[in-house]
């Protein structure tokens, strides 16, 4: 008998496992490779929406919790995960510079937006109007995180690699059993895989496909994240992530020629040096109709829970939403109503 079964090992599953461990709870994780959002993510943590120069939802508070969360994981797993990198937002015009200055005066944004215009001194970039700098930002190496976390769980005997078989689940009033595992509670953290879930499939998860390129560009020599029509994010060995696309129809994890061309076209508007594409990846972001996470207890089954809907900000939302869910289950705290799935209970009964 364990306290929890956690289904899914992306950013949601990992952050929930961490809260469980911190609180001395036992658990088993069941996961497959059917969804890959966390695996392919750019991993950026940036609280500012750079299209409109506004703060993302509760982002400052989430970031304050996320930083120590990933630092602790680095120590526990013995890997580097957090690469602190400023984001330089390329200005398209003088008007945009002015909008930036206005924004940098607003509460909260003033902590993140530098009031200096950074002139471009990289000959590989075309940016005549310079950049605005976002501070306290960076990148989590999500691929390294998943790889290390998997082997950590394997070593502790808590890892089961398989597609969750709903026919093998039975639910009673105070336990759930799945094959030979008996647990007090079960949390589904399956990203876009939630669509196939007979218990939580009623939730309005849309899914937005994203694709990224990895390029090798030895002459680029850029240590900051550059945000123009696409991001370039520095990695090791002169490689950079370039992304991402947003597509609402295609729900597969297959990279497409169309998105590759779109990314290359956008990249060519500011990158002026030679480069080679060395990889191309795709995944489905678990996006929700009202752009808020999906967290909470099943309307009828008291021991089934969901942790999902992190959209395009899983790195920052994961630690926050996981702690909220744990405190809700174990300490009877109220869930943040904006992410509580109770807002869709009517939908469950009308289905
Ligand atoms: C191209 C791209 C770029 C992104 N860039 C960023 C970024 O820079 N910063 C940021 O914060 N976020 C970014 N995101 C968003 C981020 O990736 C997501 O918010 C986050 O990864 C969602 O995590 P998750 O654990 O909910 O889902 P997932 O990562 O999809 O994980 C779900 C897990 O559940 C497993 N699973 C699903 N169904 C089953 C089943 N039936 N049985 C067993 N296992 C199952 C899956 O295989 C997977 O392991 C990006 C996403 C994409 C696609």
In tens, the pLDDT along 304-342 reads 999 999 999 999 999 999 999 999 999 999 999 999 999
Place of tokens 């950026």: 44
CA distance 198 to 203: 11
Domain residue spans of the chain: 2-40+143-205+289-350, 86-136+208-285
Computed over every residue of the chain, the mean pLDDT equals: 96
ipTM of the complex in this document: 0.99
Give the residue, by CA position, lying nearest to ligand 1 atom 31.
10
Relative to the CA of 314, which ligand 1 atom is closest? 19
In tens, the pLDDT along 260-274 reads 999 999 999 999 999
Instruction: Determine the Cα angle at 338 with ends 332 and 343, to 5°.
Output: 85
Four-residue CA torsion sign, 246, 249, 251, 254 = negative
Asked if residue 305 lies in contact with residue 185, where contact means CB atoms within 8 angstroms, the answer is yes
CA distance 260 to 272: 18
Ligand 1 centre and the CA of 289: distance in Å? 17
Residue 19 is predicted with a pLDDT of: 98
Asked if residue 40 lies in contact with residue 18, where contact means CB atoms within 8 angstroms, the answer is no
Could you tell me the pLDDT band of residue 51, with boundaries at 50, 70 and 90?
Answer: confident
Residue 185 is predicted with a pLDDT of: 98
Local structure of residue 289 (DSSP, 8 states): T
In this structure, the strands spanning 239-243 and 159-161 are: unpaired
CA distance 111 to 132: 13
- The Cβ-side half-sphere exposure at 109, using a 13 Å CA radius, reads 19
CA distance 151 to 174: 31
Q: Which residues line ligand 1 (CB under 6 A)?
A: 7-13, 30-35, 37-38, 40-44, 163-164, 189-193, 210-212, 243-244, 283, 285-286, 308, 310-316
Q: Report CA 316 to chain centroid distance, whole Å.
A: 7
Q: Which of 8, 62, 85, 160 to mutate to test the pocket of ligand 1 (most atoms within 8 A of CB)?
A: 8
User: Which of 67-81, 106-120, 139-153, 190-204 has the least mean pLDDT?
Assistant: 106-120
Asked if residue 189 lies in contact with residue 7, where contact means CB atoms within 8 angstroms, the answer is yes
Place of tokens 């002026």: 272
First to last CA, the chain: 34
Could you tell me the pLDDT band of residue 160, with boundaries at 50, 70 and 90?
Answer: very high
Number of H helices, E strands in the chain: 9, 21
Say whether 124 sits in a helix, a strand or coil. coil
Instruction: Write down the CATH number for the domain with range 2-40+143-205+289-350.
Output: 3.50.50.60
45-79 burial code (b ≥16 CB/10 A, e <16): bbbbebeebebbbbbbebbeebbebbeebbeebee
Whether the per-residue pLDDT at 255 is higher than 90: the answer is: yes
Give me the mean pLDDT over the 182-205 stretch. Answer: 97
Residue 351 is predicted with a pLDDT of: 76
Asked if residue 81 lies in contact with residue 73, where contact means CB atoms within 8 angstroms, the answer is yes
Q: Which of 43, 161, 190 to mutate to test the pocket of ligand 1 (most atoms within 8 A of CB)?
A: 190
Residue 275 is predicted with a pLDDT of: 97
Residue 107 is predicted with a pLDDT of: 84
Residue 252 is predicted with a pLDDT of: 97
Residue 290 is predicted with a pLDDT of: 96
Residue 313 is predicted with a pLDDT of: 97
Instruction: Write down the CATH number for the domain with range 86-136+208-285.
Output: 3.30.9.10
Residues 6+ apart with CB under 8 A from 209: 245, 246, 247, 248, 250, 251, 252, 282, 283, 284, 285
238: tokens are 């002169």
């Amino acid at each position: 008998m364990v306290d929890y079964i956690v289904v899914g090992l992306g950013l949601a599953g990992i952050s929930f496992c961490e809260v469980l461990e911190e609180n001395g709870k036992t658990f088993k994780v069941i996961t497959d490779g059917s969804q890959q959002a966390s695996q392919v993510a750019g991993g950026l943590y940036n609280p500012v929406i750079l299209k409109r120069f506004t703060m993302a939802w509760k982002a400052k508070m989430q970031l304050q919790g996320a930083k120590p969360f990933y630092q602790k994981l680095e120590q526990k797993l013995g890997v580097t995960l957090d690469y602190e990198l400023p984001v330089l937002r390329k200005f398209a015009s003088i008007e945009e510079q002015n909008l930036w200055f206005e924004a940098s005066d607003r509460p909260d944004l003033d902590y993140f937006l530098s009031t200096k215009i950074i002139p471009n001194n990289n000959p590989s970039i075309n940016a005549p109007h310079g950049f605005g700098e976002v501070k306290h930002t960076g990148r989590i190496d999500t691929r390294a995180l998943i790889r290390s976390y998997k082997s950590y769980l394997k070593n502790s005997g808590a890892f089961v690699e398989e597609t969750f078989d709903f026919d093998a689940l039975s639910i009673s009033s105070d336990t759930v059993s799945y094959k030979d595992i008996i647990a007090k509670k079960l949390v589904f953290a399956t990203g876009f895989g939630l669509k196939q879930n007979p218990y939580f499939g009623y939730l309005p998860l849309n899914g937005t496909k994203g694709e990224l390129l990895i390029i090798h560009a030895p002459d680029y020599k850029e240590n900051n994240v550059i945000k123009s029509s696409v991001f370039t994010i520095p990695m090791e060995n002169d490689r950079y992530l370039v992304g991402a696309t947003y597509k609402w129809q295609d729900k597969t994890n297959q990279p497409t020629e169309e998105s590759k061309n779109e990314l290359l076209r956008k990249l060519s508007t500011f990158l002026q040096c030679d480069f080679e594409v060395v990889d191309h990846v795709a995944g489905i972001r678990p996006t929700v109709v009202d752009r808020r996470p999906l967290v909470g207890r099943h309307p009828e089954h008291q021991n089934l829970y969901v942790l999902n809907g992190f959209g395009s900000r899983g790195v920052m939302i994961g630690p926050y939403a996981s702690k909220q869910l744990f405190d809700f289950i174990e300490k009877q705290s109220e869930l943040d109503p904006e992410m509580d799935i109770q807002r869709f209970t009517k939908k469950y009964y009308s289905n």
